[in-house]
Chains A and B, each alone.
Chain A
Amino acid sequence: MPTTVEIPKEKWTGKVREVTLGATPSNGGTRGREVVVGGEATLPFLHFEGAIPHPPVVAVEILDRYPDDWAAPLKEVWGDVMKDPAAWARKAEELGAELIMLKLTLNESGAADGARAADVVKAVLGATTLPLIVRGPGQAEADNAMLVPVCEKAAGERIAVGLCEDKNYRTIVAAAMANNHLVIASTPIDVNLAKQLNILISDMRMPMERILMDPTTGALGYGIEYTYSVMERLRLAALSGDSMTQQPMICFVGEESWRQKESRVGQGVPAEWGDWHHRGVIWETVTAVALLEAGADIVTVRHPKTLELVQSTIQKLMAS
């Protein structure tokens, strides 16, 4: 008698919230299209079990100034467009980016120039039709000083701003709320801290449909296993109906993976590490793919080749 195997399926009671980035003219913005993430009713890419209405998307990371400290392979591949954030964003869009992630930095004297930040954001919005993610330098006061004018200048565009951390979220959330933007809630690799921050932000009456969650990214070889597991736990909690864990997740893959020795250093490393340029791309790609398997909804990358590889992987994973 032939055996018949019953396919084991989980009956999930919850699903991830849908979050829309960008606003088209009909919704009060100027974007060419809106990007919806989230909505999953099952674990990553398990189409046999539940609906996955929106594929994860890939954002390209750009800076508001020339990135002197980035690894040489990145500077080589982008070339002169890196000197102008608007040109850089336009090029990223041409290459197929679905979102732009603009990182703001302090100026040469270490000061946070809010007016300049707002101008750069405006220029980038003008140069591309894509929805935008904007991050501050990552220091509480500087973030507030730069992100508030940015939120005002980009009012209505539904950009995602961050990072909101437990000690520094109020001002950013208030500015995002007042100008119809989204926020990114960031916590250091911990389920309870992530939940807690989502609660604090929603207590300010920010709708949950406007919160993305950054679980903190560790790169391949540099803590990825911690990020991977905390994301799996967050996603399992979300599917089990825990409302405060149901935000789509964003991973800053490019920034983390290009910070590591494998990507940054081409000389004086073991021959077994292989070709430098290729290694950097693979390091970034493997980091992105592993985190997509753990539940990432948005990954940000730096290298155009990574963009291409991760997008084609997502396409293949969405084919059921």
Chain B
Amino acid sequence: MPLSGLEIYKLLPKTNCKECGFPTCLAFAMKLAAKQAELSACPYVSEEAKQALAAAAAPPIRLVTLGTERSFSVGNETVLFRHEKTFYHEPGLALRVKDTDPALEEKVALVDGFSVERVGMNLVMNALAIENASGDAGTFAGAVAKARAKTKLPFILMSDSPDAMKAALEKEGGMKPLVYAASDGNVEAMAALAKAHGASLAVKAETLDGLAALTEKATAAGVEDLVLDPMPRHLAGALAAFTQLRRLALKKNFRPLGYPIIAFAGNGANSPEEETIAAAQAICKYAGIIVLDHFDAADVYALMTLRQNIFTDPQKPIQVSPGLYEINSPKPGDPLMVTTNFSLTYFSVAGEVEGAGKPAWLLVTDSEGMSVLTAWAAGKFDAEVIAKAVKNFQVESKINHHKIIIPGFVATISGDLEEELPGWEVLVGPREAVDIPAYLKLWQ
């Protein structure tokens, strides 16, 4: 929570020496509070004051970064509900693999290479959790080295044994993994290892008191990049614990619990579907890292889609620029279609046309990022808007016919559009984009 000018003033030397460039310490304090000055301008400020000010300026949930080349960051969230502002950092999705798994390398390669394009963005998995199921330090370190040869993704190293963790970290040096986990019995040793290897550290405890005690020990040992595992026993418990953690951080500015949360979706799940459901809840409700125990393309695709949706800024729909798009290198005689600049709409239509292998011109109007029916209902996708786009983007200089295909859902505007575009023929296309390929086959 930021300090007020008066609170800052209390921390300054109060000598009014003017070296900061301000007439008094109080004036300087006021500028600091307004973020119009830098603390470093005062040569006499004490170490203690510096720390107090830095702590006050820190975000309520610490930003933690895992990995190097394919790194991802979580935390630094500012609201409980996405409509209050937005959620900023998508939770990282990880797959857990045991160090005893003979298929370890295949699974690593699968997660490494999995990627799906959706509304113009590439959706990927973010990490691998390698578990010391063998209980043996050498096996663990060996598995980590094997996995590392297959991927640049960050690792979550899972072992309760500081010895095994040490062996693995020696292979992982410099790759910024997450050490999972410090608990009551081993927090000093785990914190020392995380510190020595520049890793972040997860702490696990069944109660919030227990978690807070652990983070205080870890920060005292010099590890700041922490992740919390409240070890929920079931779905309702996870929802309660994650909500409480988020509220404590944001509403109470409770520092000891101001860190991202890690969720193990498979714990307590009786089937792959139940695990997917737990992961879906974790995406909506406050997890920073979500570890899966099974990999199924359909499940992962659904989860990545949910994550993309929930973490979209509510003020700004994902948009494409208005303009005349060429799909499959169209010639002047090829069909002209019109749609809105909502990314989802654009990519649904463009994807179908591309998939059909048909050349076409796709005119994208400026509809403020709204879908066809939403834009139509809001008056942002009517005959006038479309006619304007035809002119602005010089459609007539690119094509040699006067036919325009409109979305089936706005069939009602065809009369108006023929008036706005004299001499043009308005054709009503299908309602759903999936039916566009069949429709284009009939085009002559």
Binding site for B on A (CB under 8 A): 2-8, 43-48, 188, 220-226, 228-230, 232-233, 236, 259, 261-262, 264-265, 268, 270-275, 278-279, 281-283, 285-286, 289-290, 293-294, 309, 312-313, 316-320
Interface 1/0 per residue, B281-318 and A, CB below 8 Å:
10011000000000011111111011011101010000
Residues of chain A within 8 A (CB-CB) of B209 are 2-5
Task: Report yes or no: A286 in contact with B248, Cβ–Cβ below 8 A.
Answer: no
Task: Report yes or no: A274 in contact with B240, Cβ–Cβ below 8 A.
Answer: no
Task: Report yes or no: B234 in contact with A272, Cβ–Cβ below 8 A.
Answer: no
Known: A225-B82, A316-B236. A290 touches B306 (CB 8 A): yes
With CB as the reference atom, state the residue of chain B lying closest to A308.
B273
Known: A2-B213, A3-B256, A233-B83. A286 touches B298 (CB 8 A): no
Residues of chain B within 8 A (CB-CB) of A265 are 434
Known: A188-B377, A236-B81, A282-B273. A317 touches B235 (CB 8 A): yes
Task: Report yes or no: B114 in contact with A228, Cβ–Cβ below 8 A.
Answer: no
17 contacts between A and B (CB under 8 A): A3-B216, A4-B209, A5-B212, A5-B256, A45-B239, A226-B314, A259-B432, A261-B348, A262-B301, A271-B297, A272-B297, A272-B301, A274-B298, A282-B302, A290-B280, A293-B239, A318-B236
Q: How far is the CA of A262 from the CA of B298 in the complex (A)?
A: 10
Residues of chain B within 8 A (CB-CB) of A228 are 82, 284, 309-310
Q: How far is the CA of A188 from the CA of B308 in the complex (A)?
A: 22
Residues of chain B within 8 A (CB-CB) of A7 are 208, 244
User: In angstroms, how far is the closest chain A Cβ from the Cβ of B338?
Assistant: 20
With CB as the reference atom, state the residue of chain B lying closest to A306.
B273
Residues of chain B within 8 A (CB-CB) of A262 are 301-302
Residues of chain B within 8 A (CB-CB) of A220 are 302, 305-306, 309
Residues of chain B within 8 A (CB-CB) of A221 are 118, 305, 308-309, 344
How many residues in B have their beta carbons less than 8 Å from beta carbons of A? 58
B276 within 8 A of A: yes
Task: Report yes or no: A8 in contact with B248, Cβ–Cβ below 8 A.
Answer: yes
User: In angstroms, how far is the closest chain B Cβ from the Cβ of A267?
Assistant: 11
Task: Report yes or no: A319 in contact with B234, Cβ–Cβ below 8 A.
Answer: yes
Residues of chain B within 8 A (CB-CB) of A279 are 298, 301-302
Task: Report yes or no: A8 in contact with B252, Cβ–Cβ below 8 A.
Answer: yes
Residues of chain B within 8 A (CB-CB) of A318 are 236
Task: Report yes or no: B83 in contact with A232, Cβ–Cβ below 8 A.
Answer: yes
B102 within 8 A of A: no
Q: Which of B252, B273, B344 contacts A285 (CB 8 A)?
A: B273
Task: Report yes or no: A286 in contact with B306, Cβ–Cβ below 8 A.
Answer: yes
Task: Report yes or no: A274 in contact with B239, Cβ–Cβ below 8 A.
Answer: no
With CB as the reference atom, state the residue of chain A lying closest to B116.
A272
Q: How far is the CA of A61 from the CA of B209 in the complex (A)?
A: 46
Known: A228-B284, A272-B115. A3 touches B297 (CB 8 A): no
Residues of chain B within 8 A (CB-CB) of A268 are 355
Q: SS class of chain A's interface: helix, strand, loop or mixed?
A: helix
Binding site for A on B (CB under 8 A): 81-83, 114-118, 208-209, 212-213, 216, 234-236, 239-240, 243-244, 247-248, 251-252, 254, 256-257, 273-274, 276-277, 280-281, 284-285, 296-303, 305-306, 308-310, 312, 314, 344, 348, 355, 371, 377, 432-434
Known A229-B83, A282-B276; 8 more pairs at CB < 8 Å: A3-B256, A4-B209, A5-B212, A7-B208, A223-B344, A272-B114, A274-B299, A275-B297
User: In angstroms, how far is the closest chain A Cβ from the Cβ of B253?
Assistant: 11
Task: Report yes or no: A48 in contact with B240, Cβ–Cβ below 8 A.
Answer: yes
Q: How far is the CA of A190 from the CA of B281 in the complex (A)?
A: 24
User: In angstroms, how far is the closest chain A Cβ from the Cβ of B323?
Assistant: 24
Task: Report yes or no: B314 in contact with A229, Cβ–Cβ below 8 A.
Answer: yes
Residues of chain A within 8 A (CB-CB) of B297 are 271-275
User: In angstroms, how far is the closest chain B Cβ from the Cβ of A295?
Assistant: 11
Task: Report yes or no: B235 in contact with A316, Cβ–Cβ below 8 A.
Answer: yes
Residues of chain B within 8 A (CB-CB) of A316 are 234-236
Task: Report yes or no: B303 in contact with A286, Cβ–Cβ below 8 A.
Answer: yes
With CB as the reference atom, state the residue of chain B lying closest to A312.
B274
With CB as the reference atom, state the residue of chain A lying closest to B300.
A274
Task: Report yes or no: B434 in contact with A261, Cβ–Cβ below 8 A.
Answer: yes
Task: Report yes or no: A286 in contact with B277, Cβ–Cβ below 8 A.
Answer: yes
Known: A225-B314, A261-B434. A293 touches B284 (CB 8 A): yes
User: In angstroms, how far is the closest chain B Cβ from the Cβ of A40?
Assistant: 14
Task: Report yes or no: B298 in contact with A289, Cβ–Cβ below 8 A.
Answer: no
User: In angstroms, how far is the closest chain A Cβ from the Cβ of B277?
Assistant: 5
Task: Report yes or no: B371 in contact with A282, Cβ–Cβ below 8 A.
Answer: no
Residues of chain A within 8 A (CB-CB) of B118 are 221
Q: Which of A46, A188, A273 contacts B239 (CB 8 A)?
A: A46
Q: How far is the CA of A262 from the CA of B348 in the complex (A)?
A: 11
Residues of chain A within 8 A (CB-CB) of B303 are 286
Task: Report yes or no: A224 in contact with B309, Cβ–Cβ below 8 A.
Answer: yes
Q: How far is the CA of A225 from the CA of B240 in the complex (A)?
A: 22
Task: Report yes or no: B277 in contact with A313, Cβ–Cβ below 8 A.
Answer: yes
Q: How far is the CA of A281 from the CA of B276 in the complex (A)?
A: 12
User: In angstroms, how far is the closest chain B Cβ from the Cβ of A308?
Assistant: 9
Task: Report yes or no: A5 in contact with B312, Cβ–Cβ below 8 A.
Answer: no
User: In angstroms, how far is the closest chain A Cβ from the Cβ of B170?
Assistant: 34
With CB as the reference atom, state the residue of chain B lying closest to A221.
B305
Known: A268-B355, A273-B116, A282-B276. A3 touches B83 (CB 8 A): no
